[in-house]
Amino acid sequence: MKHAITRIAALLLAPLASLHAADTPQSVATERPQVQANCNGVPIKRFGFCWVLGEAPNLLDDVPLQRGNTAPRVKVHPKNSSQIKRNYLGVTTTRMPRTTENDYLPVEAIHLIDGNLQTCWLSHGQSRPDVQPVWIRIDLPVERSIDRVVLRKRPPSDQRRNSQGWGPTRGAVEVGRGMPATLTIKTSCDSREWTTVFEGPTDDVPEKTDCEFRFAARPVKQIWITAGKLPLVENILYAFSLAEVEVYDPAGRNVALATCGTGITVSSTHHGPGMELASHRWYWPLHYDAGFKWARIGYHDDPINWHWVEKQKGVLKIDPETDAAVTELVSNGVEIVMSLNFGNRLYSGPAGRALPQLWEWNYDPPAPPTTPEALAAWTRYVEFMVQHFRGRVKHFEIWNEWNISCYWGAQPSVEHYLAVARAAIPVIRKHAPEARIMMGSWAGFPHGISTWTPAQMAEREKQTLYLAATRELAREVDEIGWHPFYQTDPEHLQHYTADVRALQQWLRHVGFGGHCMVTEWNYSALYPPLTEQEAQRAWCGGFKATEIEKAKYVAQVFTRHTALDLESFFCEMYFPYFAMLDLSLLRRSFDADPISPLQPQAAYYVTRNLATMLDGLEPGALDYSLDGAPPNLEAFALKASDGSALALWISGHAKDHCDGVAVDVHLKSPCRKATAYDPLNGVSQELSVEQIGETSLLKGVLVRDWPLVIRLFDH
């Protein structure tokens, strides 16, 4: 009885204790990078099994920066985030470090031999049905006589919410029902000599629940199943996904069960939005190795989201490794935007999940808080988070992409979002008065706003959820963020700069006096790219880019937003599981299990170079003119504490190789020294400056399809 009373008291006190949790987190289990190799004397840092060159690599062959200039081009040593005073470069983090208590890997290979048809395995998604071999290997503990193999699908779900809404996979099969069109089955007794017992079509149709492959009984210890012509699986693109692999002896016993001591290995596993614990521990330090001064966390399905923080009514708890990861970012000079999200089915439902094995995003997310009870619980969550992270976090965002059902968890509603935001705003003001409050970032951007008439603007305000909500909240928030493009053809963005300025003017008109950020955007280099048909249906756009082209676009976007006084966040740092889009600054090559190796893309190195080169630069004014500039040249004036700067590049479609255009830069004031910075190869060069009276001339500056940043000094 005494123990029971003690337990009840502990449960009653738990909510109070958790609501007033200590602000000091435990240490995070991330690995510090180690130098364990070098190339031509340049150190190579190891982040887990990701190898990062310590200096800027030579991505392109000899690239002169000014005609006739014989001054040396010097490698610029990249700074990490703690060494950089300020830049506008941000990144959305790929989930977050966490303990095993909050780890969720629902489609692992063990489910193929657990005897449960409701669980399943899912391979990595591929952008085509035959990119890489996908296989399953069964190892029996002892050699047995075997005469058939049966592959079983997961039964179809009774209800399906939001599971097939991603353009290219509309009409695809459910996870767990992805039978390939062809198979090869081999057996062995020693893992060296293999005999093919089946090779050919599976004759699968959607209505079939299983495929059986019979052969003459034979002694077997290993079974190797290789798939061909993968099916289209919802949200994933092409993959192999089954509920069970059964191996039968002549007596009809399934010997391929974990309870028989059987082992299973697969070519890859789709570890999904959360990814693996080890990946976060390896790759988290890349955020500040790259020189990012901004990070946005919690915007997808992170341990800081409401449904993870409050898994039991009244008990709110921050995962200690997640907590420490926030501290680690801050201690390395990174400023954080924390997105407070999403629904919690404890209060807002639906109570049951249509697809309980799979991730809530993007299969069946909880509904948003709309009832008085749910809004009160949401307010307690906001209070808990703000009290816990105040000081470390100075920017709190109220929901991510609330204007689309995928993230709102229901049909979006301006009225309901305003209720959620207005429940949170006074709580943040009270408990973190120094913090900035960000309206939930918009999924989208009003492209073309610079050409709208007042009547068109008024009509768009009525039609567009985020514009209508922004008008309501403009005077109540400090920051507004938007997500303007994913993989959008840059030819379609020719008016983006004018549109940003027109949007900022409209925001001032409706009473907003704060600051704007571009909290998500992406360019990808997907290999192989989507087919034309898939690309046309993809929400992310079908524009194709090579790895070098991606790096150039990334540099352009970061530089343009810097000049527009907008922190901007590339989406994401290291996510390899999205076959529709290259959401990563790391390169995915061959898939592997348990963790696919990732190495830096060109865009990683270019971003790291740019983070250092833009240190201390912000929008500025400069009196100059250009001779010989092509019509699609973009030019932005910048300033720093020690002088001015000019960023130049040719917009439109980038190419792997660009010869450049010679441009004469006329400065209307004296310039004693000019230094050009090339973020692609990570070099700087002193430019030749001609003094013409009280003006200066930089003759023959070579401008290409990525930014050249010219620092100007008058002394």
- Looking at the structure of the chain, the number of domains it has is 3
- CATH number of the domain that residue 414 is part of: 3.20.20.80
pLDDT digits 0-9 by tens, 604-623:
999 999 999 999 999 999 99
For residue 20, the model assigns a pLDDT of 37
**pLDDT over threshold 60, residue 162:** no
**Is residue 374 very low, low, confident or very high in pLDDT (cuts 50, 70, 90)?**
very high
For residue 24, the model assigns a pLDDT of 44
**Is residue 168 very low, low, confident or very high in pLDDT (cuts 50, 70, 90)?**
low
pLDDT digits 0-9 by tens, 424-471:
999 999 999 999 999 999 999 999 999 999 999 999 999 999 999 999
466 & 589 share domain: yes
* CA gap 194, 336 in Å, rounded: 54
pLDDT digits 0-9 by tens, 102-149:
999 999 999 999 999 999 999 999 999 999 999 999 999 999 999 999
pLDDT digits 0-9 by tens, 242-263:
999 999 999 999 999 999 999 9
Q: Which residues pair with 75 in a beta bridge?
A: 683
Asked if residue 628 belongs to a domain, the reply is yes
608 & 663 share domain: no
Asked if residue 73 belongs to a domain, the reply is no
Sequence length of the chain is 715
Mean of pLDDT values over 391-410: 97
> Which residue's entry shows tokens 């209070």?
383
Asked if residue 479 belongs to a domain, the reply is yes
From residue 617, alpha-carbon distances to 332, 602, 611, 621 in Å are: 20, 23, 10, 12
CB burial readout 277-310, b (16+ within 10 A) else e: bebbbbbbbbbbbbbbbbbbbbbbbbbbbbbbbb
Going edge to edge, which strands form the sheet with 708-713?
74-75, 683-686, 673-678, 708-713, 643-650, 633-640, 618-619
**pLDDT over threshold 50, residue 341:** yes
For residue 273, the model assigns a pLDDT of 86
For residue 167, the model assigns a pLDDT of 58
**pLDDT over threshold 60, residue 286:** yes
For residue 166, the model assigns a pLDDT of 54
Asked if residue 31 belongs to a domain, the reply is no
- Average pLDDT of the residues of the chain: 93
Task: Check whether the bond before 528 is cis (ω within 30° of 0).
Answer: yes
From residue 591, alpha-carbon distances to 540, 594, 626 in Å are: 23, 9, 49
585 & 699 share domain: no
* CA gap 22, 42 in Å, rounded: 43
For residue 29, the model assigns a pLDDT of 62
361 & 405 share domain: yes
Indicate the SS3 state at residue 283: helix
**pLDDT over threshold 70, residue 527:** yes
Report the greatest alpha carbon distance in the chain. Answer: 99
User: Higher confidence at residue 529 or residue 17?
Assistant: 529
93 & 112 share domain: no
94 & 110 share domain: no
Q: Which of 208, 242, 266 is the endpoint of a domain? A: 266
395 & 493 share domain: yes
- CATH number of the domain that residue 670 is part of: 2.60.40.1180
For residue 72, the model assigns a pLDDT of 97
Q: Which residues, 6 or more positions from 569, have their beta carbon under 8 angstroms from its beta carbon?
A: 90, 91, 92, 294, 295, 296, 337, 517, 518, 519, 520, 521
Out of 160-164, 203-207, 337-341, give the one with best mean pLDDT: 337-341
Cβ atoms of 304 and 338 closer than 8 Å: yes
Asked if residue 598 belongs to a domain, the reply is yes
**pLDDT over threshold 70, residue 19:** no
**pLDDT over threshold 60, residue 346:** yes
Q: What is the dihedral of CA 329, 333, 337, 341, to 10 degrees?
A: 10
297 & 389 share domain: yes
580 & 699 share domain: no
From 142, 140, 155, 153, select the one nearest 247 (Cα to Cα).
140
475 & 361 share domain: yes
**pLDDT over threshold 80, residue 161:** no
Indicate the SS3 state at residue 194: strand
**Is residue 355 very low, low, confident or very high in pLDDT (cuts 50, 70, 90)?**
confident
Going edge to edge, which strands form the sheet with 50-53?
34-39, 42-47, 50-53
Q: Which domain holds residue 243?
A: 106-266
**pLDDT over threshold 90, residue 157:** no
From 579, 514, 629, select the one nearest 235 (Cα to Cα).
579
Q: Which of 613, 634, 651 is the endpoint of a domain? A: 613
pLDDT digits 0-9 by tens, 61-109:
999 999 999 999 999 999 999 999 999 999 999 999 999 999 999 999 9
Q: Which residues pair with 395 in a beta bridge?
A: 337, 436
Q: 350-364, 406-420, 513-527, 561-575: which range is least confident on average?
A: 350-364
**pLDDT over threshold 70, residue 301:** yes
* CA gap 295, 283 in Å, rounded: 14
- CATH number of the domain that residue 161 is part of: 2.60.120.260
pLDDT digits 0-9 by tens, 183-222:
999 999 999 999 999 999 999 999 999 999 999 999 999 9
**Distance spanning both ends of the chain, measured CA to CA:** 83
For residue 536, the model assigns a pLDDT of 79
Asked if residue 426 belongs to a domain, the reply is yes
587 & 632 share domain: no
Q: Which residues, 6 or more positions from 536, have their beta carbon under 8 angstroms from its beta carbon?
A: 542
- Within 261-320, strands assigned E span 263-266, 294-297
Asked if residue 360 belongs to a domain, the reply is yes
pLDDT digits 0-9 by tens, 34-46:
998 999 999 999 9
Mean of pLDDT values over 23-42: 78
Q: Which of 206, 235, 266 is the endpoint of a domain? A: 266
386 & 475 share domain: yes
DSSP annotation of 174: P
Mean of pLDDT values over 318-346: 97
Cβ atoms of 209 and 152 closer than 8 Å: yes
**pLDDT over threshold 50, residue 547:** yes
For residue 473, the model assigns a pLDDT of 98
Q: Which residues, 6 or more positions from 293, have their beta carbon under 8 angstroms from its beta carbon?
A: 81, 84, 86, 87, 88, 89, 90, 333, 334, 335, 611
Q: Is 712 exposed, middle or buried (0-12, 13-18, 19+ CB in 10 A)?
A: buried
Find the helix or strand (DSSP H, E) in which 372 lies. helix 372-389
Asked if residue 518 belongs to a domain, the reply is yes
**Is residue 277 very low, low, confident or very high in pLDDT (cuts 50, 70, 90)?**
very high
Indicate the SS3 state at residue 142: strand
* CA gap 171, 163 in Å, rounded: 10
Cβ atoms of 588 and 598 closer than 8 Å: yes
For residue 185, the model assigns a pLDDT of 98
